Amino acid sequence: MAPDDLTRMSGFFGLGTAELFRRYLVLDYALLRGRKEYYVCPARSIDEPGKPVDWAWTFSSSPCVFLREHQCTIEQVKPYGGRTFFCRKIAPRDHEQVKFGKREAARAWKKSLMLKELLNSTFSPAA
């Protein structure tokens, strides 16, 4: 998921970005040059939205929270990474088909101030 996806999804749901994160998204990371670089992505049905997940995060163990009866419920604003494949549980062999994966997402979010703003609004005492 790219930072621009968060803005589009926020408008689609009529929610602020922090509220969208708390309801439907999670924080994951990729190792870039030995450092954890964080990015935002859709939660799986087994995740607690609005929280960090571990390195093993993939859709192979659980589908995206936006997948209902084999249909994407946010097709109009599907995140960039999700637009590269048909929504379903992703088998490990299919990970190479994802054109915008963990590393690309982490690089995109690293360049964006939106992640810091989102984390401050989500994890601050006033949130």
* Segment 56-104, tens digit of pLDDT: 666 666 778 898 887 889 988 988 777 765 555 555 555 455 567 788 8
| SS3 of residue 43 by DSSP | coil
Residue 27: how many other CB atoms lie within 10 Å: 21
Confidence of residue 24 (pLDDT cuts 50, 70, 90): very high
The predicted model gives 21-27 an average pLDDT of: 93
Q: What is the pLDDT of residue 13?
A: 96
How far is the CA of 13 from the CAs of 4, 6, 40, 95, 99, in angstroms? Answer: 15, 11, 17, 28, 26
Residue 61 has what pLDDT? 65
d(C-alpha 31, C-alpha 110), whole Å = 12
Q: Report the predicted TM-score, pTM, of the whole model to 2 decimal places.
A: 0.79
pLDDT at residue number 55: 61
The whole-number average pLDDT for the span 6-13 is 94
Q: Does residue 114 carry a pLDDT above 50? A: yes
The two tokens of residue 34 are 């030995």
60-85 per-residue burial string, b: 16 or more CB within 10 A, e: under 16: eeebbbbbeeeebebeebbbbbbeee
